[in-house]
Amino acid sequence: MEILGTTLRICVDDLEASVFFYERLTGAKALRFERGGVSVAAVGFFLLMSGPESELEILRKVTATIAVRDVDEAHTTLTEVGAQVIAGPVPTPVGRNLIAVHPDGSVFEYVDRNGTGTGTGTGSTA
């Protein structure tokens, strides 16, 4: 499995103020979308999320988003090394994702850009 990079996930109260800060910090323009009642802005290697606390509570359990070349390959590798895939693979605005719990209890989202997605970000539901 080839890991292409990671995205830091940050739950914020004020998405607009946070987008302004992270755009200035990174020099990147935010890519925005909404998923499951949560407003999301991807700015560089930061994924800002804002929405109902009940949704954010779930999203906070995921440590980071890991970009991989192919989610199916990630699924195979993860299960071979003892991780438990608890969601996916499913389509997201960027491609496909899955959520896995590593043997140490850490929870990660794995995403690829395969598929018909047009945005950037997360499709997490775990």
Q: Has residue 70 been placed in a domain?
A: yes
DSSP secondary structure, 81-94, as one string = TT-EEEEEEEE-SS
Bridging pattern class, strands 31-35 and 38-43: antiparallel
Radius of gyration over every alpha carbon of the chain, rounded to an integer in angstroms: 14
What is the Cα–Cα distance from 27 to 116, expressed in whole angstroms?
A: 27
- Residue 118 belongs to a domain: no
Count the Cβ atoms, other than its own, within 10 Å of residue 65.
24
120 lies in some domain? no
Instruction: State yes or no: pLDDT of 11 exceeds 80.
Output: yes
- Residue 62's domain comprises 3-112
In-domain check, residue 100: yes
Residue 119 falls inside a structural domain: no
Res 115 pLDDT > 80: no
Q: Of the given ranges (1-15, 41-55, 56-70, 104-118), which has the lowest mean pLDDT?
A: 104-118
Q: Tell me, what's the pLDDT at 58?
A: 87
Q: Of 119, 124, 19, whose CA–CA distance to 62 is shortest?
A: 124
Total number of domains constituting the chain: 1
CATH number for 66 = 3.10.180.10
Higher per-residue confidence, 84 vs 92: 84
Residue 123 counted as domain residue: no
Residue 88 covered by a domain: yes
117 pLDDT above the threshold of 50: no
* pLDDT value of position 123: 44
CA 33 remoteness from chain centre? 12
